[in-house]
Structure 1
């Protein structure tokens, strides 16, 4: 409980660290041609020239560290949870490690191939958050339904995971580009050429839906799908959590007040920056 609360508090700092420099740069450099120039411009304006190279090395090291962490995690997940569990259950440890390394090489090459295609994706932060919706909302749905119900079967979670991911991909990478391109084409056909107006039309082209709106809609839809499956094909026995006594689960006395404080902080940050 303490670890989760500490992790939640640290997670709150993420948007502040990411968003605050952008807000400062927006006021210092209002005429930037691209959002990706905001952070470099801010760094070059704030830091003395002698520290620019040092800061670039820090950023480069942080990028490599993050990439290596994700790559190692992906290799471990593939080796243990996919290859060992489903492809070759009889594989020894050396084989699992070897296959994991091969998967890591393929994954790294794939990342390098994909990277140039997202160079013009606009805000990289927004792009990453939008991509994360492919798996974050289905997983959140499974967690919520799993905690609040006892009769929904495991197949509902699998269907919810697939439906949530596929519907989100369909929405954001097929339907949205189609409707946005149609809206822009119609605007240009009417003689609208002002970049600001076209930008507004582009943002409203997909029925005015932001990707966060799509996430919220699909979250509700996924919950309904899983509950319907649980209604018509429930578990024979209600699921019960067995206490294995491997860890102490005595509730921390300050769990609720600290949790409430974290919720209030999130709400305050949202209200302040909205």
Structure 2
């Protein structure tokens, strides 16, 4: 059996502070997490048993978005911020199954994610995948990174994905600035796809989940519908607009009978004119 993360040689990891990507990994059944992440995950599941269903629905949303952008919108370049730990199919696997020449840049700031990305996110022989080790709160560092500039052609449309990540930025204005600053360098015809945490459908247990994340050192911010919509200001929303992620263009791959109160994410895709 492969050892858990804390039993492997150190790679500069913070094992004393929970990390969103590793909590997500634990709840989805992964093994790349630490005791503090498992504690956060277990406590959160006790407080809100729907958390695993919610996270699975969010992952399914990413899959549908990737297929939509690649197969229906003709996008061949993708930029994924807040990548998380690899769980197949990853974004590049979906995009390159549509067109093997598709290019993908991943970004995250956790050393464990970085190690896995370099090992597993190799892509096809004719496509390209790259990884930028950076904090999304510093978008200039991301968009000036050689891996970004050498992989993506900014004269051609890009699919920008921020899936379940802006809730780690506490301030609304800062979160909006980060998204806008990256969008500004992308050409017309690019798309923004986001899922955004909300507590509007089951606020009482989600308040407890938020306190648990905060207690263990991780930020978790819920946003209402008007605040979530603000991320798409000036863009053309794709039908059905901003909805809970399990309601965005369902294709039959989602778990049946999902209750609205069990999903704490809005999702949408919009085009930059």
TM-score of the alignment, normalized to the shorter chain, above 0.5: no
TM category, shorter: under 0.3
Q: TM-score, normalised by structure 2?
A: 0.24
Q: TM-score, normalised by structure 1?
A: 0.24
Report the structure number with the largest CA radius of gyration.
1
Q: Which has the higher helix share?
A: 1
